[in-house]
């Protein structure tokens, strides 16, 4: 694949035919939506929304995770994108998009083993391990492939709760100026499930969030005891 060739074709075939559009686009961006998606190359926001450049502000990472306000740790880049989208660009929507056959969610299911090979990725994914543990405890007899699908969906919806830990998101949402939704994109069928902040998974998310809080509290106590 010749990337230089593709760039040259963009200038020749796309830009030259749409100079006026790009001239206006250069002056400012007015995105209506912050799209928080997985880094997976098969998930393309512009294609899903049939959007033009300038419509979608994007934050991409492994497994479409939003760090909670009380535990952002060393991940300010993710929070800064959300803060800028909400406070400066004043987007009307935040969409968290999970998807089928997510490698990040599959890694969460085997996090200890995975973290040995990719420690930075493992640290990032650890933020959602409580969801995986919850599924195991609630549905011990469920087939592994079904557990993975449930994890992919719950992980997307969980991020809405994580977003609401930030006052600048919560205040705008409660004022009716911001819409929060989670999508689950089935790549093979093209089907997209949409979940609102108050969704069918709300009770589960509350239990998962509390389990995460207790686990972190226990971890902190152990650390203090060791010191």
Query: What pairs with residue 84 in β-bridges?
Result: none
Which pLDDT tens digit goes with each residue over 78-109? 999 999 999 999 999 999 999 999 999 999 99
Cβ-proximal residues to 207 (8 Å cutoff; 6+ apart), any chain: 134
Residue 182 confidence (pLDDT) above 70:
yes
For 193, phi and psi rounded to 5 degrees?
A: -90, 140
Who wins on pLDDT, 4 or 219?
Answer: 4
The pLDDT score that the predictor gives to residue 117 is 94
Who wins on pLDDT, 1 or 185?
Answer: 185
Q: How far apart are CA 52 and CA 46, in angstroms?
A: 7
How is residue 160 written in tokens? 């809405």
The pLDDT score that the predictor gives to residue 71 is 78
Residue 130 confidence (pLDDT) above 70:
yes
Which pLDDT tens digit goes with each residue over 131-158? 999 999 999 999 999 999 999 999 999 9
Identify which of 28, 77, 76 has the alpha carbon closest to the alpha carbon of residue 55. Answer: 28
Whole-prediction pTM: 0.92
Who wins on pLDDT, 107 or 218?
Answer: 107
Identify which of 156, 160, 162 has the alpha carbon closest to the alpha carbon of residue 197. Answer: 160
Q: Are strands 179-185 and 192-196 parallel, antiparallel or unpaired?
A: antiparallel
Q: How far apart are CA 96 and CA 153, in angstroms?
A: 10
**What is each CA distance from 104 to 79, 98, 135, 148, 190, in whole angstroms?**
19, 10, 16, 10, 20
| Contact (Cβ atoms closer than 8 angstroms) between residue 91 and residue 85 | yes
Which pLDDT tens digit goes with each residue over 198-208? 877 888 999 99
User: What domains appear along the chain, each with residue ranges and CATH number?
Assistant: 29-226 (3.40.1050.10)
Which pLDDT tens digit goes with each residue over 10-36? 989 898 999 999 999 999 999 999 999
Among residues of the chain, what percentage have pLDDT more than 70?
96
Identify which of 207, 164, 168 has the alpha carbon closest to the alpha carbon of residue 182. Answer: 164
| Contact (Cβ atoms closer than 8 angstroms) between residue 152 and residue 102 | yes
Positions marked catalytic:
38, 40, 42, 99, 102
Radius of gyration of the chain from its Cα atoms, rounded to whole angstroms: 19
Largest CA distance in the chain: 66
The pLDDT score that the predictor gives to residue 217 is 81
The pLDDT score that the predictor gives to residue 118 is 96
């Amino acid at each position: 694949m010749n990337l230089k060739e593709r760039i040259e074709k963009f200038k020749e075939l796309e830009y030259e035919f749409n100079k006026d559009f790009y001239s206006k686009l250069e002056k400012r961006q007015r995105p209506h939506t912050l799209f928080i998606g997985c880094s997976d190359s098969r998930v393309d926001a512009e294609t899903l929304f049939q959007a033009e450049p300038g419509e979608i502000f994007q934050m991409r990472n492994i497994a479409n995770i939003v760090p909670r306000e009380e535990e952002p740790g060393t991940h300010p880049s993710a929070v800064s994108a959300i803060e800028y989208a909400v406070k400066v660009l004043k987007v009307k929507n935040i969409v968290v998009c999970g998807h089928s056959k997510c490698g990040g969610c599959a890694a969460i299911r085997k996090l200890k083993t995975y973290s040995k090979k990719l420690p930075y990725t493992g640290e990032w994914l650890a933020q959602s391990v409580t969801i995986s543990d919850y599924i195991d405890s609630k549905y011990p007899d469920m087939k592994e492939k079904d557990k993975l699908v449930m994890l992919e969906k719950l992980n997307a919806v969980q991020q809405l709760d994580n977003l609401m830990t930030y006052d600048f998101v919560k205040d705008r949402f409660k004022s009716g100026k911001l819409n929060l939704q989670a999508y689950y994109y089935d790549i093979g069928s093209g089907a997209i499930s949409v979940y609102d902040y108050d969704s069918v998974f709300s009770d589960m998310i509350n239990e998962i969030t509390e389990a995460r809080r207790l686990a972190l509290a226990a971890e902190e106590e152990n650390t203090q005891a060791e010191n």
